[in-house]
């Protein structure tokens, strides 16, 4: 069953839910380099929607190993590439290969964290992209450590009791040359960051806000709106950390109250009735925004 030769880095015919932003994120990022790309992916939404035999949506060389080792797998590919290049065993054009690992928040914050941490610490030359949809969505919306506090998931039916892990702070602690937080609604911001990441010597990390239709509970058409609201309420600021220096890359012209974001998704329904809970979320968002502004060089 040979597929048409196509130049798309991610072909049509993905099994993603209607309104899922993951293919948008992947296509926009992969388009930021002309070099040939090899990717690894963690088990998760992206992987199952693009690789069910015999349907391969990938237009770049890609490998799926397991759930928790996308970063390690690509570090093996990258190292092989290094030694094969040294030995003159690569075919023409292959010296230029760039390496990307894709994982959801599960494969990045939780089960895949060790693998990511190790690969970054070893300074492999690769970009790690996390599409953060706030829970283990592929398996039906079970909580992850990326799930915001209070959110109802299948395994936190009364609302998650702990706050979300600050993945950017954790990765910043690895002294990596470039990492950035982005979101799907702001593509011009995302592509600038992706381009920077591809040009980085060493490891880079992109954490991309990725709303989930069935998991968060909203109508498919609102994916981009919800991402924008996350930005406008400072629930999900857009910034980068380049050689340890923080920089906010986009600021909302008018900062909206976090309620505007929360009320758009069923996963927050029960919290909206609780004034105290909403106030806590607002305080946390405000503190985070203030802290970010203090650290930001712009």
Partner 1 sequence: MKKEKTKNYIIKPMSGGEAAAEALRQIGIEVMASYPITPQSPIIETFSKMVADGRVNAETINVESEHSAMSACVGSAVAGAKTATASNSQGLALMSEIVYVASGLRLPILMAITNRALSAPISIHCDHSDSMMVRDSGWIQIYTENAQEFYEFLILAFKIASRKEISLPIMVMADGFISTHQLEKVAIFDDKAIADFIGEYNAPYDFLNPQKPILVGPFSVQDSHFEFKLSQQKAIERVPAIFKEEAKNFKKITGKDYKFFEEYRLKDANTAIVVMNSTAGTAKEVVDKLRDKGEKVGLLKPHLFRPFPYKEIAEALKKVKKIAVLDRSMSFGANPPLFAEINQSLAGTRIPIQKYVFGLGGRAIFERQIEQVFADLKKGKIDDKIKYIQ
Partner 2 sequence: MKKSKFKELKPVLPAGTSERLKTGSWRVLTPSIDNNKCAKCFKCVNFCPENSIKYNENKGQMEIDFEYCKGCGICAQECPAKAITMNKK
The CA distance from 136 to 278, in Å, is: 24
By CB under 8 A, tell whether 173 contacts partner 1: no
Q: How far is the CB of 213 from partner 1 (least distance, A)?
A: 21
Q: Is 136 in the site for partner 1 (CB under 8 A)?
A: no
Give me the least distance between CB of 158 and partner 1, in Å please.
Answer: 32
CA-to-CA distance for 64 and 10, rounded, in angstroms? 15
CA–CA distance, 58 with 70 (Å, rounded to integer): 16
Nearest approach in angstroms of CB 2 to partner 1 is 11
CA distances in angstroms from 253 to 11, 121, 223, 232, listed in the order given: 36, 37, 21, 8
Residue 233: alpha-carbon gap to chain centroid: 19
Nearest to 227 by CA among 39, 20, 10, 83: 20
Taking the least distance from each CB to partner 1, the nearer of 124 and 152 is 124
Q: Least distance from C-beta 20 to partner 2, angstroms?
A: 6
Nearest to 62 by CA among 23, 113, 108, 10: 10
Query: Considering the rule CB under 8 A, would residue 61 count as an interface residue with partner 1?
Result: yes
Query: Least Å distance between CB 35 and partner 1?
Result: 8
Q: Cβ closer to partner 2: 18 or 297?
A: 18
How many residues bind partner 1, per CB under 8 A? 49
How distant is the alpha carbon of residue 171 from its chain centre?
13
Give the containing element (helix H, strand E) for 249: strand 245-250
Counting Cα atoms < 13 Å in the Cβ hemisphere of 206 gives 30
Q: Kindly list the residues in this chain that would bind partner 2 in the complex (CB under 8 A).
A: 1-6, 8, 10-16, 18-24, 27-28, 50-51, 53-60, 187, 219-225
Minimum gap (Å) between residue 76 Cβ and partner 1: 3
Q: Does 157 bind partner 1 (CB under 8 A)?
A: no
Residue 213, phi-psi category: left (phi > 0), alpha (psi -120 to 50), beta (remainder): alpha
Q: Rule CB under 8 A: which of 79-98 touch partner 1? A: 79-84, 86-87, 89-91, 93-94, 96-97
Partner that binds at residue 93, options partner 1, partner 2, none, CB closer than 5 to 8 Å by kind: partner 1
Instruction: Candidates 111-119, 185-193, 230-238, 267-275: pick the segment binding partner 1 (CB under 8 A).
Output: 111-119
DSSP for 142-157, please give it: B--TTSPTT--BTTBT
Cα–Cα distance between 21 and 17 in angstroms, integer? Answer: 9
For residue 209, the SS3 value is strand
Q: Which is nearer to partner 2, 48 or 248 (CB)?
A: 48
Choose between 79 and 259: whose C-beta lies nearer to partner 1: 79
Q: Which residues bind partner 1 (CB under 8 A)?
A: 36, 38, 40, 47-48, 51-54, 56, 58-66, 68-69, 72-84, 86-87, 89-91, 93-94, 96-97, 114-115, 117-118, 121-122
């Amino acid at each position: 069953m040979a597929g048409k030769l196509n130049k798309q880095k991610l072909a049509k015919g993905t099994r993603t839910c209607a309104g899922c932003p993951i293919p948008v994120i992947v296509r926009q990022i992969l388009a930021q380099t002309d070099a040939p790309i090899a990717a690894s992916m963690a088990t998760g939404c992206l992987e199952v929607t693009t690789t069910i035999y015999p349907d391969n949506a990938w237009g770049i060389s890609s490998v799926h190993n397991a759930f928790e080792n996308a970063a390690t797998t690509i570090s093996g590919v990258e190292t092989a590439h290094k030694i094969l290049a040294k030995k003159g065993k690569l075919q023409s054009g292959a010296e230029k290969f760039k390496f990307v690992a894709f994982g959801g928040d599960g494969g990045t914050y939780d089960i895949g964290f060790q693998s990511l941490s190790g690969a970054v610490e070893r300074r492999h030359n690769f970009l790690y992209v996390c599409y953060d949809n706030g829970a283990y969505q592929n398996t039906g919306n079970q909580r992850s450590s990326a799930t915001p506090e209070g959110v109802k998931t299948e395994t936190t039916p009364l609302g998650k009791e702990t706050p979300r892990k600050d993945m950017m702070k954790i990765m910043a602690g690895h002294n990596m040359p470039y990492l950035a937080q982005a979101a799907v609604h702001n593509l011009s911001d995302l592509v600038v960051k992706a381009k920077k990441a591809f040009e980085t010597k060493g490891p880079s990390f992109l954490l991309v806000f990725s709303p989930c239709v069935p998991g968060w509970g909203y109508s498919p058409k609102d994916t981009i709106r919800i991402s924008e609201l996350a930005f406008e309420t400072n629930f999900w600021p857009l910034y980068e950390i380049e050689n340890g220096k923080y920089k906010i890359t986009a600021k909302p012209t008018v900062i909206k109250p976090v309620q505007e974001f929360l009320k758009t998704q069923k996963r927050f329904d029960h919290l909206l009735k609780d004034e105290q809970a909403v106030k806590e979320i607002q305080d946390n968002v405000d503190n985070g925004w203030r802290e970010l502004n203090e650290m930001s060089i712009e």
